[in-house]
Amino acid sequence: MPQKTKENNIDKYASLTGNWNYPTRIRFGAGRFRELPQACGAAGIERPLIVTDPGLMPLPMIGDAMHMLEQAGMAYAVFGDVHPNPVAADVEAGLKVYKRGKHDGVILIGGGSAMDAGKAIAFMSGQTRPIWDYEDREDWWSRADPAGIAPCIAIPTTAGTGSEVGRAAVITDERDHTKKIIFHPKMLPVEVIADPELTIGLPSKITAATGMDALSHNLEAYCSPFWHPMGQGIALEGMRLVKEWLPVATHEGQNVEARAFMLAASSMGATAFQKGLGAMHAMSHPCSSLRGTHHGLTNAVIMPYVLLHNRPAIEDKLAAAARYLDLKDQSFNGFVDWVLALRQEVGIPDRLSDIGVEADIIPQLAAMALEDPSTGGNPLPMDVPTYETLFDHAINGKLL
């Protein structure tokens, strides 16, 4: 009898288990970009490869980074041939530059695309198997040689993905146009420089889209059914920062205080989503793969449709969040109304059709969404017909 009771207790408390990791060293604050040489020294990097994107290549921040490294006597190279949704060919091209220059670490400067591509380059620099053998499935990460993972320094220039504190890279498989998550604990950058001044030049539309991405990370993590009380608390505060500061950052782009709080909210979202994501991301990924939509913008468009679908499982949670956010209507409906109002305030379209996603690809979108790893964290179970309905609603603007 005692043994049976013990077994029952194990089953009873099985949901109260988790694997928790928290961010690396973060140098946060205006002007801290100037600490790049010191960060390289702390990371043990002497011959860095800078990975960025084509849009940032001609900007002063890249020139400033090069000048700082030159002054510190470091040999470096710059790789900026990265797609907005990075593909395996980007990683292969970057690896050739990395190995040709005998580099010993990677500096990531940019938004999610540069971060994902750069982390994948550093990860693959000492591996022997194809990149897809390390997809985030079961324990595939254990196939990697940890000694073959180069150190990274991450310098975000957008406040959305939070990839600077993430242990994975999202890379598109060009063979079937699916986004795949490549994961390993050592992909986490060893140093982060979070300087809000680097986000000052972001256009308002990109500020809004990336900021809504930060909200989606915090919100889906908060709604995830998995047990992670620390992630839950971080997600809640991350949402509050978005509420207070995203409109300001969008409409007052030179406001460093707003930019700083949004940069913090971004990192908080990526920390919190260790707890899980859900259907927002599962639906957004195939839209980006098949139609090239901006990831954060797609999450923002899809957001209310997924919340309404998940209502039976998250109504109490969102009512609690509404109280924490001090909304006028502290209920599930009040929370959804706030999301809709925020989207309108920062200029987010209402429908997926407004951003180039049409009904003719719904069957393909639904099948891909179901296979996406994010589906496993959705508060309600999903299937292809359910995803087809959700895509139809989001494409045609059917808020029920």
* Domains (range + CATH), the chain: 25-199 (3.40.50.1970), 204-396 (1.20.1090.10)
| Phi-psi label, residue 162: left if phi above 0, alpha if psi -120 to 50, beta otherwise | left
The SS3 of residue 203 is: coil
Task: Report residue 233 as tokens.
Answer: 């608390």
User: E strands, the chain, where?
Assistant: 25-28, 48-51, 77-79, 105-110, 152-156, 168-173, 178-183, 191-194
Contact predicate 107/65, CB 8 Å: yes
**Cα–Cα distance list, 326 to 246, 263, 318, 331 (Å):** 16, 22, 12, 11
- Distance, in Å, from the CA atom of 73 to the CA atom of 397, rounded to the nearest integer, reads 56
Burial of 229 (0-12, 13-18, 19+ CB in 10 A): exposed
Inter-helix orientation angle 362-371/279-291, to 10°: 130
Task: Report residue 306 as tokens.
Answer: 């997924």
**Residue for token digits 């140098």?**
27
- Distance, in Å, from the CA atom of 334 to the CA atom of 362, rounded to the nearest integer, reads 30
Instruction: For the chain, report the end-to-end CA distance as a whole number of angstroms.
Output: 51
Burial of 97 (0-12, 13-18, 19+ CB in 10 A): middle
Q: Which residues contact 83 (CB under 8 A, 6 or more apart)?
A: 90, 113, 172
Q: Which residues contact 197 (CB under 8 A, 6 or more apart)?
A: 30, 31, 33, 256, 259
Per DSSP, what are the bridge partners of residue 87? 172
Per DSSP, what are the bridge partners of residue 168? 183
- Distance, in Å, from the CA atom of 235 to the CA atom of 273, rounded to the nearest integer, reads 8
Task: Output the CA torsion 355→359→360→361 (10° steps).
Answer: 70
Q: Residue-wise pLDDT tens for the chain (400 aa)?
A: 444 444 555 566 667 777 777 788 999 999 999 999 999 999 999 999 999 999 999 999 999 999 999 999 999 999 999 998 899 999 999 999 999 999 999 999 999 899 999 999 999 999 999 999 999 888 999 999 999 999 999 999 999 989 999 999 999 998 888 889 999 999 999 999 999 999 998 999 999 999 999 999 999 999 999 999 999 999 999 999 999 999 999 999 999 999 999 999 999 999 999 899 999 999 999 999 999 999 999 999 999 999 999 999 999 999 999 999 999 999 999 999 999 999 999 999 999 999 999 999 999 999 999 999 899 999 999 999 999 999 999 999 999 7
- Distance, in Å, from the CA atom of 123 to the CA atom of 94, rounded to the nearest integer, reads 12
User: E strands, 31-139, where?
Assistant: 48-51, 77-79, 105-110
Q: Which residues contact 166 (CB under 8 A, 6 or more apart)?
A: 115, 119, 187, 188, 270
- Distance, in Å, from the CA atom of 259 to the CA atom of 118, rounded to the nearest integer, reads 24
Instruction: Specify the pTM.
Output: 0.91
Neighbours of 200 (CB within 10 A): 16
Task: Report residue 117 as tokens.
Answer: 């591509």
